[in-house]
A and B are shown apart, each in its own frame.
Chain A
Amino acid sequence: MLSKTVAELSAALDRKDVSSVELTQAYLDRIEKLNPDLNAYITVCKEQALKQAAEADKQRAAGNSTPFTGIPIAHKDIFCTRDVLTTCGSRMLHNFVSPYDASVVERLQQAGAVTLGKTNMDEFAMGSSNETSYYGPVRNPWDSSRVPGGSSGGSAAAVAADLCAIATGTDTGGSIRQPASFCGITGLKPTYGRVSRFGMIAFASSLDQAGPLSKSAEDAALMMNAIAGLDSRDSTSLDHPAEDFTAHLQQSLKGLRIGLPRDHFTADLNPAVQTILQDAIKVLESLGASVTEVDLPHNHLSVPAYYVVAPAEASANLSRYDGVRFGHRAENPVNLEDLYKRSRSEGFGDEVKRRIMVGTYALSAGYYDAYYKKAQKIRRLIKQDFDEAFKSVDVILGPTSPHTAFKLGEKNADPVTMYLEDIYTIAVNLAGIPGMSLPAGMLQGLPIGMQLVGPAFSEARLLNVAHQFQLNTDWHQRRPEVK
């Protein structure tokens, strides 16, 4: 039962095969059993979840239900949840009980979802392995010696290990797609501005975007129906007509034009991963899609540009953590500077401090043009590359990550090695367009993800392609055996 999709659970609840209270209790039991090893959750909201479940059962009985009524979900701990600890994976917020709900949390709650808890993540979403969390690393359910990916590693592991039906995540440079790939699940990063950032703790404001980590493309579509849409509390939220993301799932792929970026399929890519992707492409071709090569000539500059833009924005976004109004405060500060410096140095981990310093440097007098402005220009070139490519193809397909989940500690020696993990995902954030990852095969017992990228507002099309692929393959149904 716990491995079922949201769509299946919703039907089961409708049929009264199970109640939300029973389902919620079953997930809570499994969390209690497995979380001590996986460390996917930072906070479990047992009482609140059971209360919400009981209410959801009433609502379903009264016929007031949405597909999410009574569905147990998890939120990445980057989303503010009223009266619930919200840490963002940082010591800085070890005591931050949010006085308000994020827009995403509020919308899912209104849809009747049950919140099981808050999932572990890289500190302030800065990381690709979940190892920068103050609350300890998350373990990959497929192999506990390996990382789940990051930064939404807790959400990905929780979905893969059936510790929730579906989870929310955020993606600034690949933080939904890469962990989805490493954990063998489906993840969608929507178009920038589709989902409100209100109440989502900022890392890099012009890149951050919330989205689902799910067991199927259909579930991702269902969650998008619940969370997407204009929010007046976020000035960058886009006023785009509401749409039903499930409406086109059944559409045929006949005539679909798929582009393969030449620079993604080179000798640098693991040949076994190449083979898996070629097999996936064959499936799509058999469903009526055609394939051509496309060029993204500035993709190789996406990591450098990203590591200016994201740290620069982060350096300012993280200035509010000063020990004055909330969060960690150093003991007995001798003066103001001491209060700031010690609170911040004790509260932030090494990777966060490093990025704050890189960003501070990139914005400082004399370097702004060479770094920040240059990066913003490359950002435009990257977006233009995609605009050009989408003149001849509908979606771009490639690997989500160069390889399968790596071992804990394997890439910690040098930050730059870790940064290059996101080489295939980062350009999508810089361009603001949607991208998703879905399971495409297995390599030595570990899942491999395939990335689909489309033009702005093409989420429904991406979900359609993914859903059709999932109707014809079973990679998304593989589950790890978690002991």
Chain B
Amino acid sequence: MALDNTDVEKIAHLARLQIKQPDIDEVTSRISNILTMIDQMQSIDTSAVTPMAHPFDATQRLRPDQVTETNQRDRLQQIAPATENGLYLVPKVIE
């Protein structure tokens, strides 16, 4: 599966990544090579196979509905890039 630069730009936007114009050809070519390698998967028919998301047939454990956490805001916001009045700051969200 070969991609063109427009495809790559679209994917980069979905993933919120920026690709500098001089690099785009190389990025496209490397990703295309990876996809070509991946396409070996199409060499076999898997129509009768059930997809496997987890290695084992284990099932979800549940926890009791209990509040186990206390307010750690000050400690947790020490590592935050920008806060004010306990809020995380981001450029204006427009709706």
Same complex: yes
Which of A's residues lie within 8 Å of B, judged by CB? 95-97, 99, 192-193, 206, 232, 235-236, 238-239, 298, 300-301, 303-305, 307-308, 315, 319, 322-327, 329, 333-342, 344-345, 348, 353-354, 356-358, 360-362, 364, 370-371, 373-381, 383, 414-416, 419, 430-433, 456
Contact A341 B72 (CB under 8 A): no
Name the residue in A303, A329, A370, A377 with the highest tally of chain B Cβ atoms < 10 Å from its Cβ. Answer: A377
Determine which of B15, B16, B58, B75 lies in contact with A99 in the assembled complex, contact meaning CB atoms within 8 Å: B75
Contact B18 A378 (CB under 8 A): no
Q: State whether A344 and B33 are in contact (beta carbons under 8 Å apart), knowing that A307-B38, A380-B52 are contacts in the complex.
A: no
**Chain A residues whose CB sits within 8 angstroms of the CB of B88 once the complex forms:** 324-325
Q: Give the Cβ gap from B5 to chain A, nearest Cβ, in Å.
A: 12
Bound together, the chains give a CA A362 to CA B38 distance in angstroms of: 10
Bound together, the chains give a CA A325 to CA B55 distance in angstroms of: 33
Contact A301 B15 (CB under 8 A): no
Contact B30 A354 (CB under 8 A): yes
Contacts A236-B58, A324-B80, A337-B16 known; 18 new A-B pairs at CB < 8 A? A99-B75, A99-B76, A99-B79, A192-B54, A235-B61, A304-B38, A307-B37, A322-B16, A324-B90, A325-B80, A335-B91, A361-B11, A373-B51, A377-B50, A380-B52, A381-B46, A383-B55, A416-B34
Contact B17 A414 (CB under 8 A): no
Contact B17 A338 (CB under 8 A): no
Closest 8 CB pairs of A and B: A432-B55, A376-B51, A329-B81, A380-B52, A377-B46, A340-B16, A377-B49, A345-B18
Closest B residue to A367 using CB positions: B1
Closest B residue to A329 using CB positions: B81
Contact A97 B79 (CB under 8 A): yes
Q: Give the Cβ gap from B51 to chain A, nearest Cβ, in Å.
A: 3
Q: Give the Cβ gap from A382 to chain B, nearest Cβ, in Å.
A: 9
Contact mask B54-95 → A, CB, 8 Å, 1/0? 111010110100000000100110111110000010111100
Bound together, the chains give a CA A375 to CA B63 distance in angstroms of: 32
Contact A308 B56 (CB under 8 A): no
Contact A374 B41 (CB under 8 A): yes
**Chain B residues whose CB sits within 8 angstroms of the CB of A358 once the complex forms:** 31, 34-35, 38
Q: State whether A376 and B53 are in contact (beta carbons under 8 Å apart), knowing that A304-B41, A361-B31 are contacts in the complex.
A: yes
Contact B76 A414 (CB under 8 A): no
Contact B17 A374 (CB under 8 A): no
**Chain A residues whose CB sits within 8 angstroms of the CB of B33 once the complex forms:** 414-416
**Chain B residues whose CB sits within 8 angstroms of the CB of A374 once the complex forms:** 41-42, 46
B12 in contact (CB, < 8 A): yes
Contact A360 B30 (CB under 8 A): no
Contact B17 A341 (CB under 8 A): yes
Contact A419 B17 (CB under 8 A): no
Closest B residue to A378 using CB positions: B41
Name the residue in B7, B31, B34 with the highest tally of chain A Cβ atoms < 10 Å from its Cβ. Answer: B34
Closest A residue to B79 using CB positions: A326
Closest A residue to B52 using CB positions: A380
Q: State whether A96 and B79 are in contact (beta carbons under 8 Å apart), knowing that A193-B58, A333-B91 are contacts in the complex.
A: yes
**Chain B residues whose CB sits within 8 angstroms of the CB of A335 once the complex forms:** 91-92
Q: Give the Cβ gap from A41 to chain B, nearest Cβ, in Å.
A: 22
Contact A383 B81 (CB under 8 A): no
Contact B91 A338 (CB under 8 A): yes
Determine which of B55, B61, B63 lies in contact with A239 in the assembled complex, contact meaning CB atoms within 8 Å: B61
